Amino acid sequence: MVDPLDNKQLAIDDALVHRLIATQFPKWKDLLIRPVALSGWDNRTFHLGDEMLVRMPSREEYAAQVEKEQHWLPKLAPCLPLPIPIPLAIGEPMDGYPWKWSIYRWLEGESAASGYIADLSEFAASLAQFLIALQRIDSTGGPLPGLHSFYRGGELTTYDAEVRCALAALKGKIDVAAATEVWDMAIATTWNRAPVWVHGDISAGNLLVKNGSLSAVIDFGQLAIGDPACDLTIAWTFFKEKDREVFQEMLSLDAGTWARGLAWTLWKALVVAAGFTNPNNFESARAWRIIEEVLADHRQQTKIKPQT
């Protein structure tokens, strides 16, 4: 007997989605269901007709995000300068699928990871304006950092042991002294202000572009309230020097928060480069590039030379 909670055995495909829709939302049962071109890792995503999408958590640790998004996204959306996903319905576990799932309105646009961006500095400014608006929304009652957000918005020290292990594994392959300095400088700081809303995964894949401009922000599964440093990683994963400066100047956060943003960026790249996850070749190569970008920026800020 197949255990429905065995993530390796669980098949999430259009046939399953069709059965769930037909049973729970029969008014939509005749709409065409097909996988989206670029589905995320945390959720499997499907078109439902031309104007809706279905998001199915792929593992138990992502399932807690469903009700969080259902509750908070409609409250946040009116306060933001760009569209975000608005849930239309919530589905129940059924037919061997063990978790709740969501139906959303489809948002037009291409992923910023591959779509046309007319001016990256303008894009950086638009994203900064979005984050400023998000951080200004009243955070009362918002979800504190935890497993549901993979501790985004929380303390970097959650990942301290993992980073130390990665640095040990990468000795001789990267400038470990510089990387350790980036990490140590960051964990010596903390967010001492009231908690603010954080998206938790501001990456090119979660930003949509249309007509060359930023048009929407998607995938709020790691939404939380706390320290906004985790939302700054795109400064090093996607922007270059000029665009990064625009982004940094508009956000006007303190030096400690930027130091933690740099460390959040380094943490993810280190664990991928050290092989603590199972990345594809593209993700692995990208991790090495991000490490070099982070360390180069650190050296520029501190005016130190690379370790030889």
Q: Which residues contact 89 (CB under 8 A, 6 or more apart)?
A: 25, 102, 103
* Tally of residues, the chain: 308
CATH 3.30.200.20 fits 14-107, yes or no: yes
Residue 4's pLDDT band (cuts 50, 70, 90): very low
Nearest-CA neighbor of 209 among 113, 88, 106? 113
pLDDT at 304: 55
Residue 5's pLDDT band (cuts 50, 70, 90): very low
Task: Please write the tens of the pLDDT for every residue from 233-249.
Answer: 999 999 999 999 999 99
Q: Is 66 exposed, middle or buried (0-12, 13-18, 19+ CB in 10 A)?
A: buried
Burial 177-196 (b: 16+ CB within 10 A, else e): ebbebbbebbbebebeeebb
What backbone phi and psi angles, to 5 degrees, belong to 261?
A: -60, -40
pLDDT at 38: 72
- Collapsing DSSP to helix, strand or coil, 4 comes out as coil
Cα(233)–Cα(6) distance, integer angstroms:
32
Predicted TM-score (pTM) of this structure: 0.92
Task: Please write the tens of the pLDDT for every residue from 8-58.
Answer: 447 899 999 999 999 999 999 999 999 998 766 689 999 999 999 999 999
> How many other CB atoms sit within 10 Å of the CB of residue 61?
13
- Collapsing DSSP to helix, strand or coil, 46 comes out as strand
Residue 281's pLDDT band (cuts 50, 70, 90): confident
Give residue limits of the domains in the chain. 14-107, 111-302
Residue 307 has pLDDT above 60, yes or no: no
As a whole number, mean pLDDT of residues 101-121 equals: 96
CATH 3.90.1200.10 fits 111-302, yes or no: yes
As a whole number, mean pLDDT of residues 248-266 equals: 97
